[in-house]
Amino acid sequence: MSTTINTPAGTPFVEVTREFDATPAQLFTISTDPDLVAQWLGPRNLEMTVEKYDVRPGGSYRYIHRDDNGEYAFRGVFHTVEQDRLVIQTFEWEGAPGEVCLEKMTLEPTETGVRLHQRSVFPSVEARDQSIEYGMEAGIRDSMDRLAELLAKGA
């Protein structure tokens, strides 16, 4: 299954859709368990350390990706968490402080599994476009493929 990434020109939005051969409960668990998140979130060429991942309304997270060129830390706050259905959170790359995105992930049952739909709203069109220039789409595709592989292993 392929990942669809929609980045409408002139908007601050990024929309990601992917179907998985899993249940909403399985996808929710793998998306919220810090030990499992560390195994799929981000590009394959980066090592990941999860410092905090407290998935509940008002909970926060922070993780770091590393490669030979350095560290890339990300953080945010969980605003809405509905078991097996919905997560709304903020997302901020610490390398661009104050450029906070609002992200909404929904999980929808399908006849063959579950559809993940994520919408990210950047603070400006320029911030969104800069993220795309930095390779965000490749990172998203890598993450979604790694997530599918982990689900296939029965995680």
Give the residue extent of every domain in the chain. 4-152
Is residue 39 within 8 A of residue 47, CB to CB? The reply is no
How confident is the model at residue 29, as a pLDDT? 97
3 state SS of 98? coil
Say if pTM beats, i.e. exceeds, 0.95: no
Per-residue tokens: 34: 């810090």
- The pairing of beta strand 101-109 with beta strand 114-121: antiparallel
**88-111: string of b/e by CB count within 10 Å (b at 16+)?**
bbebbbeeeeebbbbbbbbbeeee
**24-47: string of b/e by CB count within 10 Å (b at 16+)?**
bebbbbbbbeeebbebbbbbeeee
Which parts of the chain register pLDDT below 50?
none
For 61, 64, 103, 148, the CA distances from 57, given in Å and listed in that order, are 12, 22, 14, 26
- Given this structure, which CATH class describes domain 4-152? alpha beta
How confident is the model at residue 1, as a pLDDT? 72
How confident is the model at residue 155, as a pLDDT? 64
**Residue whose entry in the numeric block shows the structure tokens 């609002």:** 102
